[in-house]
Amino acid sequence: MNSSPKSKPSLFSLDLRSLAATRIAAGVYLLCDVVQRMGDASAHYSDAGVFPLSALREWWDGRLWWMLTVHSLDSGTAWPLFVFGIQLIFAVLMIIGFQSRFAVTVSWLLLISVQNRNPIILHGGDQMLRATMFWLMFLPVGARWSLDGSNALRRAYGQPVQESLTSIASAGLLLQTTIVYLSTAFLKHSKEWWSEGSAMYYALNIEQFRLPLGGLAKNLPPVFLRISTWMTLVFEIVAPLVVFSQRPLVRTLTIGAAFTFHLIFVALLMDVGPISIASCILWLPFIHGSVWDVLATHTAIQPIRKVWSALIAPVSTWRGKRIARWVKLEKPIPIVQTSIVAQVMAALSLLYILHWNAYNLNPSLKQLFTPVANTLRLDQYWGMFAPKPMQDDGWFSLAALLDDGSRVDLFQDGRTHTFERPADVVHMHKTARWAKYWMNLWMEKHGRYRKYGVAYMRAQFQAKHPEREIKQLSLYYHLDVIPAPGQRRAPVQPTLIWTETYVNASAPPLTPADE
């Protein structure tokens, strides 16, 4: 299944240094992800938060397999924090490459566990990381740039050193990127993306996402916005195919274009959370081996290499002693390959993932083994701004009627409630997960979870202001419909989507006319 050290690279060849770079990048991303989740452990993963275990049971319709998430074994905050601590350890092991495949496997299992614990806060970056780490489990991620040093051990034994491999698992990792981009391109089947070319106009008018530079870009002449719309489609269709070229320059330029697209064209115009970083990780396995060869010998890189070598000198010394001891004890020679069993599992997984994405494009197909996909999170849906960018823009306010008769907005740190537009809609929520959570609550299918969010906001306010009793809460979504190009924007429509009375049951719901 693996290519020999001297064999010519094939379509699905994977340079082991590119694989190591993917492992390290995924580990760093996971580390940052866990740290951020720890800051919201109580709010997102305990019964005191916005998604208690009762909400989780509702989400899974009472089926027993929701219990596969170990993060739900206790309803308090201490348990998820403990599990997060374990996740941090294994994320570090991924980065440094110690017991690499075991670290990746445990990290993947705990990742799907935390994602199953609170699915209502997940964004596209979560799905990308989950898919990337799934394929890494089947590959020799510790062969290069690791404390495992599989290649270094083989060299110490005088055995051939493998620099690349070709397997079903390597095909799966590379094809995953193609699946993501072709799926999102063909799911964009609306006239806004194709004939009309107005998708970029709508995307840049979504105030929940738009950054200041995006505010300037939205005022560009319509022809530029149409061209950028069609160029986005061209990139999503062409790049994931061209990147398979065996020409190093073509690959490098394509990967550079992908990084530019996500880190400049998207991230500087719209606040879409860490999905831009997760998208870039998808392209790392494609880096051609010749690129690493050039970087290893280029004179401009040598000062950096010297500093890096000095920093990791103690680790290198430890690894050298470990390798020497390994050889002295005549332990088994590491094999840089994947077992037949793992290859069969990778093949079945690849077929299933292809089927799942085919179903997304053609719902007339029959979905197979859905419980398996949902339990192991093999389910995929890459509908970024598909079939068209959202047109129901807006923001939330949570009007609290206090015992002294005043009305404050719990989304605005207890300032006087108003139906006026906030000064900074895009930064109303502290993280992308909070933004995703409240955006999901606007959707009617998630309406039954609004009570949990309102209860959490109430508890937070009362804990900070015990002397001010809330009599009534009214959750509004201020619907701001984005008009078609050339048309005037309609007035914002404050829509009451949830109300509760706590002290005086006869108190009427708060309405715009009361302001």
d(CA 241, CA 144): 27
Q: Are 64 and 124 in contact (CB under 8 A)?
A: no
109-130 pLDDT, tens per residue?
A: 999 999 999 999 999 999 999 9
Tokens 């990139």 identify what position? 235
d(CA 146, CA 151): 10
163-194 pLDDT, tens per residue?
A: 899 999 999 999 999 999 999 999 999 999 99
249-278 pLDDT, tens per residue?
A: 999 999 999 999 999 999 999 999 899 999
Q: How far out from the chain centre does Cα 366 lie?
A: 27
Among residues 258, 25, 97, 285, which one has the least CA distance to residue 173? 285
* Greatest Cα pair distance in the chain: 85
Query: Based on C-alpha coordinates, what's the Rg of the chain?
Result: 26
89-114 pLDDT, tens per residue?
A: 999 999 999 999 999 999 999 999 99
